[in-house]
Amino acid sequence: MPVTAVTHLNFQGRARAALDLYASVFGGEVRVATYGDLGLPAGLPDADQVVFGQVTAPSGFTVMAYDVPVAGRAATEPAVTRREHGTTITTSPFFVAVHADTVAEVEEPWAGLADGGTVVEPLGPSAWAPAFGMLTDRFGITWVLDVAAAG
């Protein structure tokens, strides 16, 4: 059996909305289980929040997400990613990378993720790939989309 890695994103009450966006951008099905589904009484905080969420698309794209419980939430500043003097400056501990074989395959996901987000580096040709771009979506997740260079 092959070993695969799946990006798991942590949110504070916005996992379901983020998963819905990613399903609309990449296609596929959203599966969600809430803390309430797993036994947390309905009247308690976070009962309706996502404890397990995943988007799986026919293309092979998969991402997981959950809402960090109230007790575990840190009072930290959100990650910031920007371009400065031709360099990407970030406080984010990770980026989500999406690789495709053609520019057409990344244009639609780019548009969906950019809606309400912030473009760090516009999608376009780069020195190392036919297309490369970086953006932070409206949920604060930084995405890198690129097209494999002809090898």
pLDDT 10s digits, 110-146? 999 999 999 999 999 988 889 999 999 999 999 999 9
pLDDT at 73: 47
Closest alpha carbon to 35 in 43, 27, 24: 43
Closest alpha carbon to 113 in 147, 85, 83, 136: 136
Average pLDDT over residues 16-32: 97
CATH class of 7-69: alpha beta
pLDDT 10s digits, 34-90? 988 888 888 887 889 998 999 999 999 999 999 887 654 454 556 777 887 666 777
The CATH number of the structural domain formed by 81-147 is 3.30.720.110
Is-same-fold flag (7-69; 81-147)? Answer: yes
**Exposure string for 66-90, b = 16+ CB within 10 A, e = fewer:** bbeeeeeeeeeeeeebeeeeeeeeb
Domain boundaries defined on the chain: 7-69, 81-147
